[in-house]
A and B are shown apart, each in its own frame.
Chain A
């Protein structure tokens, strides 16, 4: 008789509710991604935060002289930088998310959108930490944002996240067919850093160009966040509708493209 360690044999069971399954899968993906990226340590995570902070130190060192007349330049710069860092990082990882998890995709059937959404988790964690740091910094410098301002800021972050999800859903399936899409995006993203008003105040450009700059999604999120957090001004209803429209279009386009191509994703791996 062979020693046999298995004692339980499950009889056929109905599949568990999709939501419970998805939640467990999302948590496992987030946990293992964090572990692989930061070796599972807080020190590893803090090390990763060094990149945007170094960027901030360098840019501040150079441009605070250029824009010396703007008293809010430093705080505006750091708000924009961490918002930009989230966008750049999450879209970069999201674009290759299905390809990176090909080993799961070709071997079992499960809702593959979970891989795309979970891929942004590291960027989301960093965004949350930065948001806490910024709000604490503002409070310590004697200008704590009001509850209303914080509420609006959270709404902008939620919309920002949904835009990134929309982008990632679309590009993750397209990347399987167009394998240089990540290089194309890298170039666009590099140019986009200067299109968004990160290192310069939007006001230095003629107003007739503003609309075009706002078509680049991070612009509106950066500007509106600065307004509520730093200036204590809430953007107009029209501005909010615009942001909502951009979010809805990006998410809807992402979902449509993903639904069209995802069923055959495994055939392109």
Chain B
């Protein structure tokens, strides 16, 4: 059982270049990251023990080109990991995200979910891996990546990797990259929403859900402002 009082770790902008975290048995940890200014290369390692849960959320509205890695090690049975990323890349920035999870024992679950919007001539890459070690039966793991590329010089790439070392596991991944979906726009416009409003709502749908993972309403508001300003 996880405790009722999760440990919350928050970094706004000053995210350390290397962070090592440990989630003890039966504990819950929430890592809340948000960046709005210049961002640099970062590596985060997280060990998750038996029946412990790790929830990591990163709202990235930073500038600059960087590589961001998060490695979550599920070390005990019943461990779980939920990773959520919402990223907006602009100008000529090149951002690479590698959210990875390593199932080292069985009966552990992970969902790695990454959403991004690419503007201008920037590039955004989601390239995490989900690895299930041999013997880690009854594990469940999922990778999701969705990117909308707004402008014609921008580029988005999602290459989720699954490495499965044993049978009797659940593993899945999905990725979609593309321009704003014409069918989605048509659907919303056919309900009376203007082209601009439809575009805005679809984009909001990619970024706004990250707010649910922040406990401080001031940070939620700041993310809201960054979304409205960025799209």
Question: Is the pairing of A and B real?
Answer: no
Residues of A within 8 A of B (CB): none
Residues of B within 8 A of A (CB): none
